[in-house]
Structure 1
């Protein structure tokens, strides 16, 4: 009887151990799910918030990658300028972008605040162009007299719009353009050592800030 009872007892113990393992897994169903979710969250966080992660661990790779991945029409982008001539050429393009898109707006027959906006853009950016050209001539820098390729493409798209649709698109573009220009002015102000360029930036920055504020106000109406 003892010989028969011992194997039976061992079998019961093994069965109980197997059941306990199964019960432990079943009693904590969130373990695998949570681990999977954490992995997904970390992946998404790394993909969409590289700059934040870089700030916390001291690695600037995420921040640099985020900056390099920034689209060209991102309102927070800052045009890179290796020197003053390159900056002046970008500033000249910026003036032409606003002047020519605003002329298109007037040709399209915009009215009210959009018309007021377009007239101000043409007036102020024409003045900015003249001020910049005086400095460029002094430095023997030839400035572009047309829009940059990106805005030429934007202009082609806007030609197919009319009425309220055009006005909305025009004012939204003014917000994006002036934000980027303001960012670029502020960035180069801390880089340049040229007194003339610094003076130009100091003169036009308040004007661009005013344009940005007005563009945001009009675009939200």
Structure 2
């Protein structure tokens, strides 16, 4: 009888020890198997346990401004209103003089129509800007900038379709740059007259850019 009771006690003790060991093992496994959360509370892992999260792309779009202005364009804001006005006047002369050269080269059809439009619209733009500049004692340039003088010299060597293609491409690039300049100056200037000028000419420049981009 005593031997039977002793055997039962030993069996119960072994069973209790086994349960305690299993619980400890399970708790350790659960603690180490759960992945650590990242800063956003989510972590993705592959079959090898490596973190497969990728960074979310950063939105670098420009808020406000012209819908066609290129935020990555080459033109930075001018430091003063006087610098902007001189730059805008030179841009007008670039388009006017290159368009006059296009007419001299005998362009035809839509290219001829566009060249005449450039001369008319940019001459008007210069007149509007000159009125503001005179009030502020700013002398505007009456000729192309050095870069476009060199471009014009190269274009004079071309003719026919080759010239027309170069002219259209140059007009597209110039108007994109001008649009960038206008958008930057709009953010920079505090002068209401300059702001009014920019608001007036921006839609015109946008229409020119669309026109040349569609050719």
- TM-score relative to the length of structure 1: 0.64
Q: Deviations over 1:105-164 (max 9, x none)?
A: 000000001001100000000000000000000111000000000000000000000000
The residue number in structure 2 matching 1:135 is 132
The residue number in structure 2 matching 1:151 is 148
Aligned to 1:97, which of 94, 97, 108?
94
The residue number in structure 1 matching 2:168 is 171
Distance in 2, matches of 1:81 and 1:150, equals 18
Superposed counterparts of 1:1-221, under 5 Å? 76-218=73-215
Unaligned runs of at least 5 residues, structure 2? 1-56, 59-71
Unaligned runs of at least 5 residues, structure 1? 1-54, 57-74
Distance in 2, matches of 1:181 and 1:154, equals 17
CA RMSD of aligned residues (A): 1.3
- Spell out structure 1 runs of 4+ moving beyond 3 A: none
SS for the counterpart of 2:79 is coil
Instruction: Looking at secondary structure, tell me which structure has more helix per residue.
Output: 1
Which structure exhibits the higher relative contact order, with contacts defined as CA atoms closer than 8 Å and separated by 6 or more residues? 2
SS for the counterpart of 2:75 is coil
